[in-house]
Amino acid sequence: MNEPTFKFAGIQMLIGENKQENIKNAVKLIDEASANGAVIVSLPECFNCPYSTGVFKQYSESLGSSETIDALSECAKKNKIWLIGGSIPEVDKVDGKIYNTCFIFNPQGAVVGRHRKIHLFDIDIPNKIRFKESETLSPGNSLTVIDIGYCKVGVGICYDIRFPELAMLYAKENCKFLIYPGAFNMTTGPAHWELLQRGRAVDNQVYVAAISPARNPDSTYQAWGHSSVVSPWGEVVATTQHSQDIIYTDIDLNKVTEMRSSIPVYQQKRNDIYQIINQSSTTNNTYH
Ligand SMILES: NC(=O)CC(=O)C(=O)O
């Protein structure tokens, strides 16, 4: 077996209320990750604004007139890296709806993917946390698969990780690496963050990365942090605590092949009993 290995970096950045400062911080940390050899880098969910339904509209931007997208495009091009641009509140120029959107850039700086969070984070855990993204956001309707040359990568945003069907569809599309910019909190983070990543990784025999903001004591939403990468075997191969940090790991595609040949669940699926079907258009390559 001689599959390629490549370096991934996840940026666990501190996010505040000042959009320009957030963008500046993101660019500085991406430059650092690239200088340390990362060829693919991911930012966290809502990296240019506070994670709060009350402010998404005010911070929202559209492709074609977005200082955030322009800065990320320039940064990907300068560093010649693949960039999974966390997420930002995106307003659609045609329908006016706001989405929680991850823009993805190739090493030439072109937007090659746009993942709009499919499953909105609507939860109510009595006396702990109530959050309703659907108060201001609309859900996306398609999967996002990017071929980065080394392998195909499937992208989800935060709550999307709770839906095994999405990860299974990505595996069916032959993705070997799933990346979820996310922002779990102090209630769900300790309970589910790592468990879900390990579950998605082992079920689908893929690498899984989940990249969080750093915890900001001044924020109304306290992010769990603990950005991590999990191998197809289910081991946590990179992680951190809750402060600003960059995590690095070598994504060794031999590990995917080894796992798939030693425990061949894909050949053992009982498609005569159950099936998982993609009913969306897998990727939408026309952006406005
Ligand atoms: N923020 C999210 O979308 C999801 C989350 O925090 C959770 O599922 O828990």
**What ipTM was reported for this prediction?**
0.98
CA atoms 2, 231, 77, 84: torsion sign: positive
pLDDT digits (tens, 9 = 90+) for 70-111: 999 999 999 999 999 999 999 999 999 999 999 999 999 999
Superfamily holding 5-264: Carbon-nitrogen hydrolase (3.60.110.10)
Work out which ligand 1 atom sits closest to the CA atom of 196. 8
Domain ranges of the chain: 5-264
Work out which ligand 1 atom sits closest to the CA atom of 133. 3
Centroid of ligand 1 to alpha carbon of 268 (angstroms): 32
Tell me if 210 CB under 6 Å of ligand 1: no
pLDDT digits (tens, 9 = 90+) for 151-182: 999 999 999 999 999 999 999 999 999 999 99
Apex CA 278: angle with CA 270 and CA 286, to 5°?
155
End-to-end CA distance of the chain: 42
Tell me if 184 CB under 6 Å of ligand 1: yes
Tell me if 22 CB under 6 Å of ligand 1: no
What stretch of H or E contains 252?
strand 245-252
pLDDT value of residue 1? 72
